[in-house]
Amino acid sequence: MDHAPGAHGGHDMGGAVSTLDTTGALLFIGWAAAMWLAVAVLAYANRGPVRPWLYKTAVGVIGLGVIGQIGHFQEHVLQAGYWVANPYSPAWMTPWATGLAKGMGQVDPSKPALGMEILHLTGNFIFLAGLVGIVQITRRATGALKSRKWAKMGVWMQGIHGIEHIVLTASVALGASRAIGLSTWFGAIEPGPALVTYRVWWHFVANLIGTIILAVSLFHLWKEKKAVKDGYLPESAAGGAGAGAGAGAGAAGGEDCVLVPAASLGTADPSAQEAEPERERELVSRS
């Protein structure tokens, strides 16, 4: 979903904005906001005792992040494919992405590129929230989990990528003639095929790497799901299991205590039995 419309040498974002465009834009932004609210709640609640809804909420955040990244990445794939077929044409977006960008661009219609930048920024932060969700769901698990390691790697990479899009969006919002960021070589590349090529492939590669990291993290999360789920067992159930184990050990110890006196009695009885005949012989001799 990365393009360079208007003065950026890319897709023209002109045209009337429909009610569907506006509704879609609001829902998409609401999606991202809801995910980050859930991430904040998880981060705070995971510091305290286990609560039944924590695990399911984390799973929901991860699921929404995966769905969002599938849509996000397919846009980059289609955009790169369009470039291969039309390397000297302006950047292209799918109709649904164009509609979302138009809806978001209503925040300032005087800046044609702003809607596209907001759209791409929102998509990246949905992806980032999904990665943070994996970090949160593995927080209570003991041991070093590979899923958590890969998710942290993804958070760092996607966090840096997100900063890039904050800079791109802010530069356009503040009135720059073109988006300023690493993917535009800080505005040094003139609008045209060179700028389109650089932006299209820069963001395609960045999202390809990020998507691979997400996939690897999810693969390990599936393999480590038992360890992750065990971290969310109710504390009462965990305490009951520990008490049951302690009671079993105590019962075994009780049996040992009973057996030891019996053994000691068994070793004392023969000596007493040997003393009895000696006493009887002494009594007979005296009589």
Query: For residue 13, what are its two tokens?
Result: 């974002």
Are 69 and 211 within 8 A, CB to CB? yes
Decide: residue 272, CB within 10 A, 0-12 exposed, 13-18 middle, 19+ buried: exposed
Size of the chain, expressed as the number of residues it contains = 287
pTM of the model: 0.78
Tens place of pLDDT per residue across the chain (287 aa): 444 444 344 455 567 899 999 999 999 999 999 999 999 999 999 999 998 899 999 999 999 999 999 999 999 999 999 999 999 999 999 999 999 999 999 999 999 999 999 999 999 999 999 999 999 999 999 888 999 999 999 999 999 999 999 999 999 999 998 899 999 999 889 899 999 999 999 999 999 999 999 999 999 999 999 999 999 988 645 444 444 434 433 443 443 433 344 444 444 454 445 545 555 554 444 44
pLDDT confidence of residue 281: 52
| Per-residue confidence (pLDDT) for residue 15, from 0 to 100 | 72
The structure tokens 């963001």 sit at 203
List pLDDT tens digits, range 98-113. 999 999 999 999 999 9
If residue 231 lies in a helix (H) or strand (E), which one and from where to where? none
